[in-house]
Amino acid sequence: MKPKIFIDGREGTTGLQIYERLSSRRDIELLQINNSKRKDVPTRKMLINKADIAFLCLPDDAACEAITLIDNDDTRVLDASTAHRVADSWVYGLPELSAHQRERIHTARYVSNPGCHSTGAILLIAPLVESKLLPADYPLVIISVTGYTGGGKKMIAEYETSNRVERWDLDSPRLYSTGANHKHIPEIVSYSGLANIPVFTPIVADYPQGLQIIIPVHMPGRRREAFEILKDHYSGCINIDVLDESPTFTASNFNSGTDNVTLRVLGFDDKIILTAQMNNLGKGAAGAMIQNMNIMLGFDEYDGLIFK
């Protein structure tokens, strides 16, 4: 019998991406909800409880509410919101985090999907902290440049409106979360092994998809060692490339439209620049949800993912 999948919040950016990718799969059964019933609680409750895995593509409060609708011991949950990413009873859905993370995801009932910015940051930081090459109390500054699709339907409409002449500010990159309290910070700290809260600076720019995390650090004479640690840690991951070449430019939309992640160790002498290039809607959202679903169901984890 095919596992049943229900996407609660299918009309959102991430939900639509997941639905489009899963609609052609023949190894699962997608449970459908009539558009007129998508906010009807009894209908949603029925479908959530009928599902083997319920995808929650909802705001934080709505995701928490959706959990309360489950009245059986079998429905498993993949939550795209930030509501449960550092909760003790949830498994963090970053398979590449450690040698045991895939098994934790496979056996978990509740899996929280990582944020896009935090995915790139953790992939760079965690192995270096674990190896003690990067001190846990290092005063990190993390810069992230992302396409506007990560902001959801409202931001997409702002950037793609025909009235752009009235929005001169959209023509240049825009710093946001200026209070330095972005919602991805707790998971970055928790799963990177950091002892201090980093300064995190996200920037949204006028292009649709793609994200680049940029982390400058001082580690005299350790650039090659940093590269080798990352290369070894991700040696079995076909979705992650680790490079130490230094191109003239590293575009933030380099992996747009794919589920690839490219990690780079740039710089010279004591100045190192760590970068992660990925798709904010791929490995940063829908692609990661599908990868986690595959692992939970015992499928090939890369089924349905998009690679260059």
Q: How confident is the model at residue 180 (pLDDT cuts 50, 70, 90)?
A: confident
Residues 93 and 139 in one domain: no
What is the tally of structural domains in the chain?
2
Q: How confident is the model at residue 268 (pLDDT cuts 50, 70, 90)?
A: confident
Is residue 306 included in any domain, yes or no? no
| pLDDT above 80 for 163 | no
Is residue 307 included in any domain, yes or no? no
Domain with residue 105: its CATH number is: 3.40.50.720
| pLDDT above 80 for 46 | yes
Is residue 209 included in any domain, yes or no? yes
Per the prediction, the chain carries an average pLDDT of: 95
pLDDT of res. 166? 76
Predicted confidence (pLDDT) per residue in 29-45, tens digit? 999 999 889 899 999 99
Which residues are paired to 241 by β-bridges?
262
Sheet holding 29-31, edge to edge: 29-31, 4-8, 53-56, 76-79, 110-112, 91-92
Q: Which of 57, 64, 116, 237 is catalytic?
A: 116
Residues 22 and 63 in one domain: yes
| pLDDT above 70 for 225 | yes
Q: How confident is the model at residue 162 (pLDDT cuts 50, 70, 90)?
A: low
Taking residues 167-171, what's their average pLDDT?
86
Is 64 in the active site? no
Is residue 304 included in any domain, yes or no? no
Q: How far is CA 156 from the centre of its chain?
A: 18
Domain with residue 208: its CATH number is: 3.30.360.10
Q: Among 15-29, 165-179, 260-274, which range has the highest average pLDDT? A: 15-29
Is residue 302 included in any domain, yes or no? no
Taking residues 247-261, what's their average pLDDT?
96
Residues 263 and 164 in one domain: yes
Taking residues 90-97, what's their average pLDDT?
98
Residues 226 and 259 in one domain: yes
Taking residues 296-305, what's their average pLDDT?
97
Domain interval for residue 165: 116-280
Predicted confidence (pLDDT) per residue in 103-147, tens digit? 999 999 999 999 999 999 999 999 999 999 999 999 999 999 999
Residues 122 and 80 in one domain: no
Taking residues 21-32, what's their average pLDDT?
96
Residues 81 and 106 in one domain: yes
Residues 160 and 271 in one domain: yes
Q: How confident is the model at residue 164 (pLDDT cuts 50, 70, 90)?
A: confident
Is residue 305 included in any domain, yes or no? no
Residues 86 and 130 in one domain: no
Other beta carbons within 10 angstroms of residue 170's beta carbon come to: 17
Q: Is the pTM of this model over 0.85?
A: yes
pLDDT of res. 167? 82
| pLDDT above 80 for 234 | yes
Encode 229-293 in three state secondary structure. Answer: HHHHHCCCCCCEEEECCCCCCCCCCCCCCCCCEEEEEEEECCEEEEEEEECCCHHHHHHHHHHHH
Is residue 217 included in any domain, yes or no? yes
pLDDT of res. 47? 98
Q: How confident is the model at residue 214 (pLDDT cuts 50, 70, 90)?
A: very high
Residues 205 and 290 in one domain: no
pLDDT of res. 87? 97
| pLDDT above 80 for 272 | yes
Residues 196 and 79 in one domain: no
Residues 97 and 137 in one domain: no
Q: Which residue has the higher pLDDT, 170 or 262?
A: 262
Taking residues 84-101, what's their average pLDDT?
97
Is residue 228 included in any domain, yes or no? yes
Residues 83 and 109 in one domain: yes
Choice among 40-44, 150-154, 262-266, 273-277 with the minimum mean pLDDT? 150-154
